[in-house]
Amino acid sequence: MWLDSVDWWSRHSYVLNIFSGLTGVCFGVPFALVGLDYLIKNQEEHREAERVRARAVVAASVFVESLLDVFNGLTLDEVSDRVRALLSEALAIKMMRGNDPGRKDREGDLRVAFNELLPAPGGRPHGTWSSFPRHSNEAQNMRLWRVGVQKSWRRLDGVRAEMADAWIDKATETAADQAVEDLLTGGRSPWKAHHEGEGAEAMRNFLRDLKALCEAAEALEAHTR
């Protein structure tokens, strides 16, 4: 400013151009670097979020596929609807008197409906609740299915921790966590029950676990869609 007041720049136009350029560099480069750094960070965060989301989509898809593996090509919606209907009927039968003449027929219809959902190997439908353990091939198949469901559910833990946005609701997740642990264990497996009453209760528990897993699968599909 002082050089300008004494009219020095007018006699040194070349120096003025150099000085002007240096001034622009001193102000422009830092601002450009700050802005560029901000854009780069934003882009990297966006790419990482997309990578995490892609992993979540794959993990959720694997879980749904493992859950549906034993249901002979049925969709998740079909399995979910049938499981809810079966559980509702099983609970309704439980409320009937033991000597009710219609109870035996309804239990038979329930087994037929369950066989339509999950056909027994060799086409041998279950005639009683205590007949499930005698189907060793079916029991082995269900054990392998359980292992696949558990592995695929636990695989979701890794991507869930990395997800920046909300995960499925806590109640659904907690119910599925418990169902994964309880699935086909002890009194929750019809293939381990050797008495009629024990088998009927095991079927109700199995259907409860299936319902919780189907609801988690539906929530995961909606979240990662």
The model's pTM: 0.78
Which residue numbers in the chain have pLDDT < 50? none
Helix 13-68 × helix 136-162 angle, to 10°? 160
Q: Give pLDDT, residue 20.
A: 73
167 lies in some domain: yes
Query: Which amino acid type is present at position 82?
Result: R
Q: Give pLDDT, residue 84.
A: 97
79 lies in some domain: yes
Contacts of 130 (CB under 8 A, 6+ apart): 193, 194, 195, 196, 198, 199
CA distance readout (Å), 202 to 13, 19, 82, 210: 95, 87, 18, 12
133 lies in some domain: yes
Q: Give pLDDT, residue 12.
A: 64
- Model confidence pLDDT, tens digit, residues 146-156: 999 999 999 88
Q: Give pLDDT, residue 106.
A: 93
Query: How many structural domains is the chain composed of?
Result: 1
Q: H helices then E strands: how many in the chain?
A: 7, 0
Q: Give pLDDT, residue 6.
A: 63
Query: Which amino acid type is present at position 204?
Result: R
111 lies in some domain: yes
The range of the structural domain enclosing residue 113 comes to 53-224
42 lies in some domain: no
Q: In a 10 Å sphere around its CB, with 0-12 CB exposed, 13-18 middle and 19+ buried, how is residue 31 labelled?
A: exposed
Looking at the chain, the whole-number percentage of residues with pLDDT higher than 90 is: 47
33 lies in some domain: no
Q: In whole angstroms, give the CA distance from residue 93 to residue 40.
A: 63
58 lies in some domain: yes
17 lies in some domain: no
Q: Give pLDDT, residue 35.
A: 64
